[in-house]
């Protein structure tokens, strides 16, 4: 790595070293090779293309899905002294013309555009007339119809390789299954791309899920008691729920605002602005809030109902703790959520996509009810191996529960699946075990099977729990038509070579409430909260004066390190993560002055 790269990393971005995989990504781009990078939110994807953009000749064109997100990113880059602009539908022809002039004059290093821009008259011709350093596809999972946020305009981005065959393309996303990963490479036409995949595990996130009691508002209130004044997102399933939950929090004295696609544009913009400027602590949103949030100090994410897929869930909880500081997530779920999601899938056309949607829903339901490590389940879903987290999810930190042996019940269920040639789904197998006389049982003559009626001791709901447990253990798989098939693990159980146990309380399906876990997330670093709040006030004043969100000035992580060290010289200030020469020249002096004042009042240990 060249000295120039190291200098830019420190002077512009304020870092003395790279996070995992960042150096490899930067090197790949500087070598003009195609790149596919899958890096969880908070891993530092932006630096992977912004840093090489400053070192290469020409402009780096970044394709991003949302105008609000692009606007925030461009504004943050300008604060760092980087020549960046965006072209969007909200700009006037005159504004766009001025940007085009700067492009032609070689004055820009980064240009942000939405994928729709490539269909605009003359845009491709413009790009062909100027030096292009590289193309960057952000949120690249939108390319794939197998992903969770497929967008038709992304599908047409294969034209980049067709029209600019010698320009490298870098694709970035926080989430991608192996199927989506392969689809991204194919759809974008990437040529022998370097593939970098970061760990799915976010060790700063405490992840929890529990059954929703009623509308879940009381559980939400109890959860928020630990986060007074901190920023968070609450996701709801419907627009109406977003408004009612926001109103409920407002009555409780919490600064909350609703956000969804049905609100007037002015209201949405006001809610967004209030949240990113720390004027509203909580945003209550449908997934319309989606990818358009570039705020690093979100301390928690709550789901008031079950997301439709684990991809959606992982992407959404990833908005918490992007600054690397301890954060929490809470998922409230009920059987009604699964039924709602399934009814929407039923309306899809028969085929592979519909089957995939059902499979993903089943994984999501299994995750909610599972007893095993939640981080491990997420890692497994995205094709990564890891050990149980131990302390970062509710299942790993829960007290030991009484276990019940359900080996006999498991063998009954597996036997019923085997005796029906592994051709039927859950409902039919449970009806068979319980001795039902419904039409389908009689139609296939299953009332004559030896397994007919051998499971009357359990209710239908309890058999569903047994089924879920076998799926969690990998004893059952789904066939093409939603039928159950027996895996090698299941065959071992059926033959008597393995036993099955379950948390006893799971079979008590009438149980409505779990004990609320109060996990002490603590704080990172040894700093004084009052000093931190003083520095936040300095930041707020500077942010208001510059009309930017506070986190663009300095992130919470930087402020907390500043509060802990109380630097008294420029040199000491530049040693703090996130403060480079450019940021210091713009914002450093007021903080330095305040730190000196505070240092006179507070005894500080020299390093």
pLDDT of residue 517: 36
Angle at 524 between CA 522 and CA 530, to 5 degrees: 85
CA dihedral 198, 204, 210, 212 (to 10 degrees): -100
CATH architecture of 3-197: 3-Layer(aba) Sandwich (3.40)
Query: Which two three-digit tokens encode residue 505?
Result: 């309380």
DSSP strand pairing (132-137 vs 169-173) = parallel
Q: Report how far apart the first and last C-alpha atoms of the chain are (Å, whole number).
A: 30
**Domain extents for the chain?**
3-197, 205-397, 403-507, 529-601
pLDDT of residue 511: 37
Q: What is the pLDDT of residues 142-173, one digit of tens each?
A: 888 776 667 788 888 999 999 999 999 999 99
pTM assigned to the model: 0.70
Q: Is 204 exposed, middle or buried (0-12, 13-18, 19+ CB in 10 A)?
A: middle
**Residues with Cβ < 8 Å from 407, sequence gap 6 or more?**
493, 499, 500, 501
pLDDT of residue 512: 34
DSSP strand pairing (194-197 vs 35-38) = parallel
Q: Do domains 3-197 and 205-397 have the same CATH topology?
A: yes
pLDDT of residue 290: 56
pLDDT of residue 604: 42
Side-chain half-sphere exposure of 255, counting CA atoms within 13 A: 13
Q: Tell me which residues of the chain have a pLDDT lower than 50.
A: 510-525, 603-607
User: Domain 205-397 falls in which CATH fold?
Assistant: Rossmann fold (3.40.50)
Which alpha helices (H) appear in 225-264, and where do they start and end? 239-251
Angle of the 374-381 helix axis to the 352-369 helix axis, nearest 10: 160
Q: Which CATH number is associated with domain 403-507?
A: 1.10.10.10
Task: Check if the beta carbon of residue 580 is closer than 8 Å to that of residue 574.
Answer: yes
What is the rounded CA–CA span in Å between residue 423 and residue 93? 62
Query: Which two three-digit tokens encode residue 275?
Result: 């949240």
Task: Check if the beta carbon of residue 15 is closer than 8 Å to that of residue 5.
Answer: no
pLDDT of residue 1: 61
What is the rounded CA–CA span in Å between residue 256 and residue 248? 9
Which alpha helices (H) appear in 130-177, and where do they start and end? 152-155, 159-163
Q: Which CATH number is associated with domain 529-601?
A: 1.10.150.80
């Amino acid at each position: 790595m060249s000295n120039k790269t190291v200098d830019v990393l420190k002077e512009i971005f304020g870092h003395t070293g790279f996070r995992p995989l960042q150096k490899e990504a930067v090197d790949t781009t500087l070598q003009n090779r195609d790149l596919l990078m899958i890096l969880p939110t908070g891993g530092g994807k932006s630096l992977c293309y912004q840093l090489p953009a400053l070192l290469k000749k020409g402009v780096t064109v970044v394709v991003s899905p949302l105008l609000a997100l692009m606007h925030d990113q461009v504004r943050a880059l300008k604060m760092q002294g980087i020549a960046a602009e965006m072209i969007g539908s909200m700009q006037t022809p005159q504004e766009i013309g001025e940007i085009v002039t700067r492009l032609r004059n070689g004055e820009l290093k980064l240009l942000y555009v939405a994928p729709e821009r490539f269909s605009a008259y003359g845009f491709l011709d413009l790009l062909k007339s100027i030096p292009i350093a590289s193309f960057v596809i952000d949120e690249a999972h939108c390319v794939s119809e197998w992903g969770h946020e497929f967008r038709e305009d992304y599908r047409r981005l294969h034209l980049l390789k067709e029209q600019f065959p010698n320009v490298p393309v870098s694709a970035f996303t926080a989430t991608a299954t192996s199927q989506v990963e392969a689809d991204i490479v194919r759809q974008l036409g990437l040529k022998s791309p370097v593939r970098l995949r970061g760990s799915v595990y976010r060790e700063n996130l405490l992840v929890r899920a529990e059954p929703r009691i009623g509308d879940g508002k009381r559980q939400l209130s109890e959860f928020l008691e630990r986060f007074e004044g901190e920023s968070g997102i609450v996701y709801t399933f419907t627009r109406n729920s977003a408004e009612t939950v926001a109103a409920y929090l407002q009555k409780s004295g919490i600064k909350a605002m609703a956000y969804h696609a049905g609100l007037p544009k002015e209201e949405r913009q006001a809610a967004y602005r209030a949240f990113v400027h720390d004027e509203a602590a909580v945003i209550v949103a449908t997934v319309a809030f989606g990818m358009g949030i570039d705020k690093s100090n979100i301390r928690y994410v709550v789901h008031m109902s079950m997301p439709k897929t684990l991809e959606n869930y992982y992407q959404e909880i990833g908005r918490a703790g992007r600054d690397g500081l301890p954060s929490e997530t809470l998922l409230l779920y009920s059987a009604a959520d699964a039924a709602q999601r399934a009814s929407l899938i039923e309306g899809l056309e028969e085929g592979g996509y519909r089957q995939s949607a059902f499979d993903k829903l089943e994984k999501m339901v299994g995750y909610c009810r599972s007893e095993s490590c939640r981080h491990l389940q997420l890692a497994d879903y995205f094709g990564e191996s890891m050990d149980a987290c131990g302390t970062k999810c509710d299942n790993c930190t829960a007290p030991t529960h009484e276990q019940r042996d359900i080996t006999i019940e498991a063998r009954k269920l597996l036997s019923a699946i085997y005796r029906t040639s592994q051709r039927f789904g859950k409902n039919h197998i449970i009806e068979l075990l319980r001795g039902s006389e419904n039409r389908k049982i009689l139609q296939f003559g299953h009332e004559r099977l030896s397994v007919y009626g051998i499971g009357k001791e359990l209710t239908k709901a309890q058999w569903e729990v047994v089924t879920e447990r076998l799926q969690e253990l990998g004893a059952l798989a789904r066939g093409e038509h939603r039928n159950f098939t027996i895996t090698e693990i299941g065959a071992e159980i059926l033959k008597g070579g393995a036993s099955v146990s379950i948390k006893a309380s799971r079979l008590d399906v009438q149980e409505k409430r779990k004990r609320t876990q109060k996990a002490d997330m603590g704080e990172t670093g040894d700093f004084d909260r009052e000093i931190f709040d003083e520095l936040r006030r300095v930041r707020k004043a500077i942010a208001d004066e510059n009309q930017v969100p506070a986190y663009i000035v300095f992130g919470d992580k930087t402020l907390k390190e500043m509060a802990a060290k109380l630097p008294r010289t420029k040199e000491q200030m530049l040693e703090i993560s996130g403060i480079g020469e450019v940021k210091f020249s713009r914002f450093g002096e007021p903080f330095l002055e305040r730190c000196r004042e505070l240092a006179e009042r507070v005894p500080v240990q020299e390093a």
